[in-house]
Structure 1
Amino acid sequence: MAERRRAHHALVHQLLESGMSMREVARHLGWSRNTVRRYAHAQRWQDMVKGRRTRVSKLDPFKPYLARRWEETGGKITGHALLAEITERGYRGGHTLVAQWKQALPAADSVPPPPPPPSVRQVTGWLTRHPAGLTVDEEVQRKAVLAHCPELDAAARLVTSFAEMLTRLEGERLSDWITEAMTSGLPGISTFAVGLNSDYDAVHAGLTTHWNSGPVEGAVNRIKMLKRQMYGRAGFRLLRKRVLLAS
């Protein structure tokens, strides 16, 4: 709140010094004129937080001692014992403040909660990204997930094998990969393998030759982008000119 008051005070005075009136400043900032007037009449930004003080507890001067005693006893000391010790040292409050302070502390034998499980998106990224792109922590978590799920381990092995075949153009392995994927019993990968087998010649050619439809797909994507940009604004002639000039 103090930071906000200081920034607003400086902004209002800067606008006023630039020659703007209070009405113009209020209109510019979207504030009421009364708010602008209060900032304008305040010589210091501290005047805007006057009366908003943090309450000081009677227990505050004794909290370092309480924390030290709590650590020394391993959290086994009672609230009444703590109250007696700080009373001897000048504490004049009641037991309620000590009890509230004690309740806010974690239990001595409390076990920290386990880390949350990874999300589906995280696991999918660990399986589809190149292993060299994973951090050490991600690699450890990936191995732990695969160790707890044999089906996921088989899916990861098939995904990695297909990625290697795709990047290295090792189409001679396609037949064996399709057979293994279809017999794996993994619904998504088995369906994908069936689709590859139905168009085997084209897929094999794509995995063995350097020819591809990348330039054609790029041209189609560019034409679609131009068409979306001009939707409802021009006819076919202007679209044709833009397509030809863009290429």
Structure 2
Amino acid sequence: MEKTVSAHHACVRTAFENTVPAAPPTSDDIWQTPPPAPAAGMLDVCGRERRLVTRTRERHTAVRQLPDSGSTLENVCRTLQLDRSTVRRFARATSIDELLVKATNRSTILGRYKPHLHQRWNEGCHTSAQLHQEIVALGFTGSLQTVRRYLRPFKAATVAPPARRPAPRPRRIVRWIMTDPGNLTADDAADLKEVRTSCPELDAVTHHVRDFAAMMLDLRGDQLPAWMERVLADDLPSLHSLINGLSRDIDAVTAGLSTPWSSGQVEGQVTRTKLLKRQGFGRANLDFLRKRVLLTP
């Protein structure tokens, strides 16, 4: 699920960053509402591509070219002087967008206060110390140097550029999709609606997930073959791998979706037995373990 969202996150990022950001937080909002998603974007405040994005593109190109020429993973690591896990992550990525999601959605302590800084700068307050004091009153815990470093590019412009609205992280979008629509807050439901509007693939994923959830709740295993056909009809490779796994034991999956029986009691007893075994630190024999299993309530 998260791979699917990451692969199509560019559509979400574009939709969110091209909308007007929410109003600057007040002192009451800081304590009464959870912090918004971290700032995201491939460009810096001056419109230039961020160095992290450029470096990610360069590494992705280099890693994908070397294996094509016959180099092994170890040779790629030595040639590019990169860690093995980094090279493997770049080599396994299905697209550059999957890598740029993490590069452009890093959390910053200044992210939620940027709309306030942009607004005050355009109102004529260009003193970093004053702006720092204002956001400290709103809950900012960073240093004055952090504010100065962020405001430095503004001095060359007459007005501050508009603050981009942060796009939600893939994991948060996955949580929205996997949550019962009736349990979503109004803000989360509105954001999910915007995500689905901006990306037809994620809209299809949401439909498939909710259909499967309804099938589980209503014990309608007879609908599984039709659901699998609808998923295969869409261009969703990650969900196709799920269908392949379900197809290997379709009878058991259908029975599990059709009967009210659950293996929860068995799993609970297995977990309990493992706990009792580990409490012996490997020194209890089978006879003692048998008595603990039978006599421990």
Q: TM-score, normalised by structure 1?
A: 0.54
Structure 1 residue 192: deviation in Å?
Answer: 0.9
Alignment equivalent of 2:217, drawn from 167, 191, 210: 167
Where 2:163 maps in the other structure, the secondary structure is: coil
Name the CA distance, whole Å, in 2 between partners of 1:116 and 1:142. 14
Alignment equivalent of 1:131, drawn from 176, 181, 188: 181
Unaligned stretches of 5+ in structure 2? 1-119, 126-150
Look up the match of 1:179. Answer: 229
- 2:292 is aligned with 1:242: yes
Name the CA distance, whole Å, in 2 between partners of 1:200 and 1:168. 18
Alignment equivalent of 1:196, drawn from 246, 260, 273: 246
Look up the match of 1:208. Answer: 258
Structure 1 residue 108: deviation in Å?
Answer: 8.1
CA contact (8 A) 1:183 1:190 kept: no
Look up the match of 1:113. Answer: 163
Structure 1 residue 206: deviation in Å?
Answer: 1.2
CA contact (8 A) 1:169 1:209 kept: yes
CA contact (8 A) 1:182 1:194 kept: no
Structure (1 or 2) with the larger CA radius of gyration? 1
Structure 1 residue 112: deviation in Å?
Answer: 4.3
Moved more, 220-229 or 137-146: 220-229
- Number of equivalenced pairs: 152
Q: Aligned residues: percent identity? A: 42
When residues 237 and 108 of structure 1 are mapped into structure 2, their CA distance, relative to the original with a 3 A threshold, is: farther
Alignment equivalent of 1:232, drawn from 254, 257, 282: 282
Q: Which amino acid aligns with 2:197?
A: A
Q: Which amino acid aligns with 2:266?
A: V
Name the CA distance, whole Å, in 2 between partners of 1:228 and 1:158. 41
Q: Which amino acid aligns with 1:157?
A: H
Name the CA distance, whole Å, in 2 between partners of 1:149 and 1:228. 48
Look up the match of 1:150. Answer: 200
Moved more, 187-196 or 159-168: 187-196
Structure 1 residue 111: deviation in Å?
Answer: 4.3
Q: Which has the higher contact order (CA 8 A, sep 6+)?
A: 2
Calculate the aligned-residue CA RMSD, in Å.
3.0
CA contact (8 A) 1:223 1:243 kept: yes
CA contact (8 A) 1:75 1:108 kept: no
Q: TM-score, normalised by structure 2?
A: 0.46
CA contact (8 A) 1:128 1:159 kept: yes
